Structure 1
Amino acid sequence: MSHLTPIIFILLAVRNTEGAVTPVVTLSPNWNNVYSGDRVTLSCSVGSVEEDKRGYDYYTWYKDGKFYMNGKSRTFTANVEDNGVYKCSGRSGIYSDPVRLHVISDEGAVTPVVTLSPNWNNVHSGDWVTLSCSVGSVEEDKRGDYYYTWYKDSKVYMTEKSRTFNAKKEHNGVYKCSVGSGVYSNPVQLNVISDAVLILQTPPDIIEGDSPSLRCHSKNKNNNKIYYYMNGKLINIGDTSQIPNITAAQTGMYKCGKYIQDRWKAAETYINVQGEFYFYILFYLNDLYYC
C-alpha cells in the first residue's frame, strides 16, 4: 500500500498589510499521494463567501510555475502527468502556498538512484562533491528541480536534481531522494572527515560481482608508495587498488598506509560486500510496498 499522507488545511482568511486575502489550495480527497485513475479535486478559496462566488476568470492556477488554468476548482482523473506543485491566485495577484500532488502509476513507479561524484563516501573537508538523483529515464531526468525531493537524515534537504558543494562537517549524513511518484531511493551515507591526515575511500555500495576501486586520499601530496591490506594481509601496492569481481567472502577490514613526512600514516574502513540476493529482496519488498 502507498503511504497516503493527509494534508490538513485551516481555512483562515489571511490578509496582508494592504487588505488583500491570501488564497488557499485544497485537495479532495485530502491526500497528496494518489494512484493513477483516482478522482481528484483541486480548489482555490479566499475564505470569503462573496469573493468565492466570483466568476471563472477571478482565479488563476499555476502548475510547476507555469500557467495551468482559470477557475475556482477542477475535478479530474489523475494521471502521471498531473504530478506537480500547484498554487493559485485571486484577482489581487497574491499567491497561495504551494501544494504538491504525487500520482503513482499503476504500472509501477521507478525507484530513483542517488549517485556521489566522485564515487566515494569518505571525503576530506574541502573536497568537492556532487549529489545526483536519477530515475534512469531521459524524459523524466529532463524534469525541473520541483520533480526531485532530497532528504538528509530523514529531513527535507532540497528540491533539486543535483547539487555540487565544497564538503564541510555539516554535510555528514544519510541522503536519499524521491521523485514525483513518491518512491524513495536507497540511502547513501556521506562522511566528511576533517581531522585525519589520510582516509581510505571506497564506493558507497559494493555488490558481489563489482570491481570496486580503493583510494588512499591525503591532503599532503607525495609520491611515496601506498600499501593496501585486507584483514591484515597485503593485497596491493599502488596509487589505487582495484578488486576484480569481488565476492561476499571478501567482506572485511581494509587498510591503506604510506609514509608522510617520514612518518607512517594509515587509514582503515570496513567493507560489507552485499550479495545480489540481498538486492533482489530489496526490489521485491519495494514492489510489495507499492502494491
Structure 2
Amino acid sequence: MNPGDSVTLICEVKESSTGWRFSWYKTVLYRAGLPSLLDKSYSVEPLSGNETTKESYTLSPAGPTDTGGYVCRAGRGDPVFYTNYSEPQFLWSGVLHSSMSVRISPNRTQHFTSKSLSLTCDLKGNSTGWRLMRYTETGVESGCSPNWGSITGSTCTITSTDTEDSGVYWCESGSGQYSNAVNITVSGGDVILESPVHPVTEGDSLTLLCTHRNQPHTNTKADFYKDGVLISNDSIQEMTIPTVSKSDEGFYKCKSDQIESPESWVTVRVPGSSTSVLVEVIVGLVVAVVLLTIFLVLLCQYKHNKGFCSNRIFWPIHPQSTNQDPQQDQGSTQVQSPDAGYTDSAGVSADGSSDVTYAQIQLNKMDKKQKEKPADPNENPVYSEMKTVKTAASSGPVDVTYSETDLKKMVKTQKKKKSTSLLESESVYSPIKTQ
C-alpha cells in the first residue's frame, strides 16, 4: 500500500445466502487464551466495530499500524453458527519499521526452479525473537528450517527452489513488528523477467531484463508489456525507463522466442511522501509565529508613536498657596475634571467633607517640533479662577475669568506683598485656549 491509501477487505461465504453477520480480526503473534488459526501460526484479535451485517471492512486511510494480516468469519442463527476463520490476507503499508528488513539473493522478484535462493533478515539494534515468514498458496508458514530451507545466523537458504516456494516473504520481531515484504515468483518456464524487488523512487531510472534459463542469449530480441499492453518490442533483452513516474507503476512481463515470463508488480514511491505532511505542518507553524511576532512589534511601535502609552498620575492638590507660575506648565500638562469619587476643585467631596482636592494629569508624548515651537502671543490666552462664593440662596463654585493683563497686574501686586501665591488660597488655574 502507498501511504494514505484506503483498503477495503471483503468477506465471502461459500454458497452464500442472507442472514450472515461478519466479524473482522487482525493477526497477532500466537498467544494462549486468544482464538488462533488452525496451524497456530497466529492468534486473532477483534477489530473495533468488528461485527456487522456488511461483508466489507474499510481501512481509511491505511497507515503503518495497519501492516499485518486480516481475518474474517461469518455467523448466523440462534444459537449462532460460525464458519471457520478465513485464511489471513496480509497488507503492507509504505511506512515500515526501520529496524528490520528482508534481503534476497539473487536480488530479483522472479527465479527459476531448481536454483539456490537466500533470504536474510537484516536486524538493527536489539531485535530479538525474530522469525522469517512466508505466505503461499498453502497458507502461512514460519521458521524456514526444517520446513523449506536451512538457516544459518539470520539467513535462510533454499537450496533447490520449487514453484511452491512462490509467495510473499517478510521478517517479524518478537514484539510483532514487520519488515518490508518481497513477492517472489518461482517459474518452471525458460524465461523470467528481472525486475527490482524493492520499490523504485519516482525520478530514478528503471531497467527490466528478459532472461533465459540455460543461456544468456545476448542477441535475442524481447518484447515488454505493462498491464498486458505492449510497450517495447525488438529490444535486446532489456528495457530502460530513464525517469520513472507514478504512472509507470503496474504489472510487467516480457516475451522472448515466443516464451512469456510471469508477471511481476513494480512499485513506484513518491519521494518524501511519508513525511511531507509533517514537514508542511512544522513550516506553517514557524511562519505563523514569525509573522505574529513582527505584527506585535509593529503594533507596539505604532501605539508608542501615537502616544497611547501614556502615564496617568493622580496626586493631591492641597488647598494652600503655591509659588509655581501657571504659564510654566502651559501646553505640557492638561488638567482634567476629577473622576467620580474624587473631591471637586473647592475641596468638597461627595459626602460633604472638605480635606483634599485631586486632579487627574495625563502626560502625553508630544512631537519634537511641537515642543520646540515658541508660544504665539496672539493666541491671547485667558485664565479662569474657580472660587467658592457663598450667597444667601446657594453656595458653590463660581467661575471668574481673568485677562492676561489682569493676571500680570495681580502677579505684580503679589510680588509687592511678598506673597508666595498668585491669588487667594483654594484657587486652581487652568489655561483656556481661544481658537
Give the number of the structure whose residues are more often strand, by fraction: 1
Query: Of the two, which has the highest radius of gyration?
Result: 2
TM-score normalised over the length of structure 1:
0.48
Q: Which has the higher contact order (CA 8 A, sep 6+)?
A: 1
TM-score normalised over the length of structure 2:
0.34
